[in-house]
Structures are given as C-alpha cells and as structure tokens.
Amino acid sequence: MSFAELLVVEDDPAIRRGLIDTLETAGYSVRSANDGPAGLAAALAAPCDLVLLDVMLPGADGFSVLQSLRRERPNLPVILLTARGAESDRVRGLRGGADDYVVKPFGAAELLARVEAVLRRVAKQPKPKDSLTIAGRTVDFDRREIHFGPGDVQPMTEREAALLAYLARHPDRAVPREELLREVWQLDPRGLVTRTVDMAVARLREQLRDDPTSPRIVLTVRSRGYMLGSQDGAGDGAPTGPAEG
C-alpha cells in the first residue's frame, strides 16, 4: 500500500506531526492541513487516495468537511479521527459517509492497520469504465466530460460521473435508489427519506440532454429505480416517466 497519497487534516501541531511521521515511515506520501476549510481545499485541489480527518477542527468541523467531500468527491476514502467516542458521534460519522472512525488515543499500529484496510477495500471495488457511448453521446469518465460532437463538450461533476458510471456497470437491471445512496453517496439508506437520487438523476439528464419526458439514456423503472438505456439509445421498453424522477 506504499506510495498512496494521503491527506492529514489535524489542527493540533504535535498530533499532526506524529501522524505524518507514522505514515511517512510506513511508505505513504503525506500532505497536511490544519483547519477545516484548508483541509477541504487540499482534498479538492490535488489527487488524494485517502483523507485522515479530525472532527474537532477550527473553521469547519470534520462532519461538515466530510459532507462537502461526499458531495464533491463521493468516492474519496475518509477516516475520521476524534476524541469524541460516543456511539452517537460514531454513528453520525459513519452514516455521513466516513469509511472508518478511529477514537483517540490510538496507537500507530492500529492507525496503519485501519488505513491499509480502507485502501484494500477501495482497491477491490470495480473500476468505472473509461468511457461510454450511448445515444450519440460519448462520456469520458476520466475527464468527466460528455462529448456530443466536434467542439460540443459538456462537463460533469464527480457525483454525476459516479452515478452514470455505476449505472453503466449494472446495465441489465434497475438499480434501486437505496443501492445508489449506499454505493454512490456512501450513505446508509435505512430510515432515510430523501429525493437526493431523483434530483441528481434530473441534473444528470439535463447534462446529457436526455429528454426528461421521454428519456433514452437514464431510464426510470417505476417502483424499482433507475437503469441505463440500451447502447443504441433506443431504450429497452422499461416503463419510464417523470412521475418518479
């Protein structure tokens, strides 16, 4: 797992230095930030394989930073580090999308084991396609762009690309909203009432110029979820319509 790029967001100088030394000794490349806004900016500004994020941060706490990261970089692994070990805090962190929650104080061996475990899980996840051609459009997932023709390119957000890539990896079935919340948003769907997925699909269709009244690319399967249309863009006969997003 060496050579992975890690970001440490911790306001205590001594703890931050200790974390950096431990991780660098284990072979990781480490960047750091000392408050919430700086940590969020660092995570979004450069490639990063995992974020070690303190909860009690100045400027914006770790829960707020995590929420922003899940919106902007939904697949970026995050381990929360905190002295707040109450069950309610751990549940809040995990339901907010953290990949792990480590309570201070902790030893170097435990921290490294948890970092390695999260990176292993990420490495085993299926990789999205590099590109998708459907209904006369070519989607470049690496560049997060939709190509409609020469000189006609529409950018996508990371969330939109992740949503479309997940549907593309499961082309022959309707994917339930609960599964999309869990796998794309990294949220626990149990007891969660939200139209997050429906609104994201609406935005994705807009980016794809997919007619919401008769979509050909992202199809709604009533009472089941969403699925990708056939590669020729003609649809597959699944009942669709705007009533369910």
Give yes or no for residue 126 having a pLDDT over 80.
no
Give yes or no for residue 227 having a pLDDT over 90.
yes
- Residue 103 and residue 85: Cα distance in Å, rounded? 6
Q: Which residue has the higher pLDDT, 150 or 230?
A: 150
pLDDT interval class at 238 (50, 70, 90):
very low
Residue 211: per-residue pLDDT: 92
Q: Which CATH class is domain 5-124?
A: alpha beta
Instruction: Quick: pLDDT tens for 146-172.
Output: 999 999 999 998 889 989 999 998 888
Q: Where are the domains of the chain?
A: 5-124, 131-244
pLDDT interval class at 234 (50, 70, 90):
very low
Residue 242: per-residue pLDDT: 39
Q: Mean of the pLDDT values across residues 199-220?
A: 94
3-state secondary structure of 114: helix
Give yes or no for residue 123 having a pLDDT over 80.
no
Instruction: Quick: pLDDT tens for 25-83.
Output: 999 999 999 999 999 999 988 888 999 999 999 999 999 999 888 877 877 899 999 88
Give yes or no for residue 223 having a pLDDT over 50.
yes
Same fold for the pair 5-124 and 131-244: no
Helix (H) or strand (E) holding 47: none
Instruction: Quick: pLDDT tens for 172-189.
Output: 889 999 999 888 887 888
Chain centroid offset of residue 23 CA: 24
CA-CA distances (angstroms) from residue 94 to 78, 97, 137, 189, 201?
Answer: 10, 5, 37, 12, 25
User: 131-244, what's its fold?
Assistant: Arc Repressor Mutant, subunit A (1.10.10)
